[in-house]
């Protein structure tokens, strides 16, 4: 199987497409559609691709899942079983992480505008805080003193690296809203040194998302170790940790050609060790923050076909019972996906369709020019590689109820997130 598909995906000449030995149309009928389905076997494989490669090439390490990609209690508990931590970017994500089975010492808190209440929650629980700007550092110091706690912090720096990815998901360039300027590093480190309520654990940087080229990651390791060496020389501090973020891409279509996780780890850690040796600094604990590459390929979305509308000589539409409210990425990023008809995986693709959502926007198009077998009303359409950013970006647009999420393993299925009801939509309304 290509890396486009979950590990447990199977087909047979006489039956529908299956995940973990469960027919996908059966799941659609049982739980309703749209439906997010996560494959436990693929989650385990992706986690272990990281942890096993790091055990081989750089044992002093921690893999921290980028929670913004897809976060709920059940999913985090699965990742805890695979010995992953989690990074969070809001009070809601932090609260969820603290209720999960992931240890607090393996939770990292990001964000460029954390509130006082969010920071207080992090400090009380000993969560590492990624400091994004100087104003935040002042705020953390004040809260730590008031709470009589020592805040565990890392400084996020702009690496000033341009990675080849969508403009909206670049984070390492000089004018990014994220991170401190390298010119402020030594001044801030010396200030932190003088404050007993602050414990500087290390440095953090992140260059972006959905990146296929490994050279920017190697460049990042070189740049950040140089900063660590400068801190050692000028501030007399040997930093304990180096967080190099995430960002490795996955395959969404046959045109995508991402590197393997193992190769990424080997190249990155080889560069990191070489840089440390050259600069005369101790090898830090390496923290990585993969998100999409953990959950992306593990997820599929199921839709029911409600209508097929032909405009003769122009276009054939397939209308599905979801769209931009459960997957806004095609509208936001011009994201592309791979589609199939779960009921007839062995029929030859013979027609070109545009897959249109149900929402009241002309731009609610999930895909254009998709070649599929003849599609009929009632068919189950499956979209691959939707485990990252679909659920976490879902909305209530047009007052839609959010889909359920389930996980499948060894012929069994269970709910991770219940489907919302119309009553749920009214829960916080006032008459």
Q: How far apart are CA 144 and CA 73, in angstroms?
A: 28
Instruction: Point out the residues that are catalytic.
Output: 360
125, 86, 79, 140: which is closest to 108 by C-alpha?
Answer: 86
Say what the pLDDT of residue 168 is. Answer: 39
213, 191, 209, 208: which is closest to 200 by C-alpha?
Answer: 191
Q: How far apart are CA 241 and CA 200, in angstroms?
A: 9
Q: Where are the domains of the chain?
A: 9-32+298-425, 40-295
Asked if the bond preceding 34 is cis, omega within 30° of 0, the reply is yes
- DSSP result, 384-424: ES-SSSHHHH---GGGPPPPEEEEEETTEEEEEEPPP-HHH
User: Judging by beta carbons within 10 Å of its beta carbon (0-12, 13-18, 19+), is residue 167 exposed, middle or buried?
Assistant: exposed
H/E segment holding residue 351: strand 351-356
Say what the pLDDT of residue 163 is. Answer: 57
Say what the pLDDT of residue 89 is. Answer: 97
Q: Would residue 420 be called left, alpha or beta, if left means φ above 0 and alpha means ψ between -120 and 50 degrees?
A: beta
Q: What phi and psi values does residue 413 have, to the nearest 5 degrees? A: -135, 145
Q: Report the CATH architecture of 9-32+298-425.
A: Beta Barrel (2.40)
The CATH code belonging to domain 40-295 is: 3.20.20.10
Q: How far apart are CA 73 and CA 81, in angstroms?
A: 13
**What's this model's pTM, rounded to 2 decimal places?**
0.94
Q: How far apart are CA 219 and CA 62, in angstroms?
A: 20
H/E segment holding residue 156: strand 151-156
| Cβ atoms of residues 166 and 333 within 8 Å | yes
**pLDDT tens per residue, the chain (431 residues)?**
468 999 999 998 889 999 999 999 999 999 999 999 999 999 999 999 999 999 999 999 999 999 999 999 999 999 999 999 999 999 999 999 999 999 999 999 999 999 999 999 999 999 999 999 999 999 999 999 999 999 999 999 998 776 554 443 344 446 678 889 999 999 999 999 999 999 999 999 999 889 999 999 999 999 999 999 999 999 999 999 999 999 999 999 999 999 999 999 999 999 999 999 999 999 999 999 999 999 999 999 999 999 999 999 999 999 999 999 999 999 998 999 999 999 999 999 999 999 999 999 999 999 999 999 999 999 999 999 999 999 999 999 999 999 999 999 999 999 999 999 999 999 999 99
Which stretches of 234-314 are assigned E, i.e. beta strand?
241-243, 285-288, 299-311
Q: Facing residues of 381 across strands? A: 303, 341
């Amino acid at each position: 199987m290509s890396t486009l598909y979950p590990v447990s995906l199977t087909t047979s000449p006489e039956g529908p497409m299956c995940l973990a030995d469960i027919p996908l149309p059966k799941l659609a009928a049982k739980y309703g559609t749209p439906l997010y389905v996560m494959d436990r076997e693929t989650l385990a494989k992706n986690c272990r691709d990281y942890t096993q490669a790091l055990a081989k090439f750089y044992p002093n390490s921690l893999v921290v899942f980028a929670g913004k990609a897809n976060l709920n209690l059940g999913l985090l508990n699965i990742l805890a079983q695979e010995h992953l931590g989690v990074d969070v970017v809001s009070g809601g994500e932090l609260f969820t992480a603290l209720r999960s089975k992931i240890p607090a010492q393996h939770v990292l808190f990001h964000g460029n505008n954390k509130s006082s209440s969010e920071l207080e929650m992090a400090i009380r629980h000993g969560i590492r805080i990624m400091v994004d700007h100087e104003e935040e550092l002042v705020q953390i110091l004040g809260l730590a003193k008031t709470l009589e706690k020592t805040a565990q912090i890392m400084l996020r720096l702009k690496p000033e690296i341009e990675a080849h990815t969508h403009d909206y998901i670049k984070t390492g360039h000089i004018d990014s809203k994220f991170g401190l300027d390298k010119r402020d590093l030594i001044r801030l480190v010396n200030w932190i040194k003088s404050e007993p309520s602050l414990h500087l654990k290390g440095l953090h940087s992140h260059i972006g998302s959905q990146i296929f080229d490994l050279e920017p990651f190697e460049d990042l390791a070189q740049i950040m170790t140089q900063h660590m060496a400068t801190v050692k020389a000028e501030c007399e501090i040997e930093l304990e940790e180096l967080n190099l973020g995430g960002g490795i891409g996955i395959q969404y279509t046959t045109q995508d050609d991402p590197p393997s996780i193992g190769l990424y780890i080997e190249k990155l850690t080889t560069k990191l060790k070489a840089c440390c040796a050259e600069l005369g600094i101790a090898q830090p604990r390496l923290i990585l923050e993969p998100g999409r590459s953990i959950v992306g390929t593990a997820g599929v979305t199921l839709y029911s076909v409600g209508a097929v509308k032909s405009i003769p000589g122009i276009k054939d539409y397939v209308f599905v019972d979801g769209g931009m409210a459960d997957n806004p990425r095609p509208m936001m990023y011009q994201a592309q996906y791979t589609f199939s008809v779960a009921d007839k995986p062995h029929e030859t693709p013979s027609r070109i369709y545009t897959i249109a959502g149900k929402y009241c926007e002309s731009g609610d198009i999930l895909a254009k020019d998709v070649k599929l077998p003849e599609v009929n009303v009632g068919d189950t359409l499956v979209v691959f590689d939707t485990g990252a950013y679909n659920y976490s970006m879902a909305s209530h647009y047009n007052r839609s109820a959010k889909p359920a999420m389930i996980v499948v393993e060894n012929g069994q299925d269970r709910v991770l997130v219940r489907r919302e009801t119309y009553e749920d939509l009214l829960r916080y309304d006032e008459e």
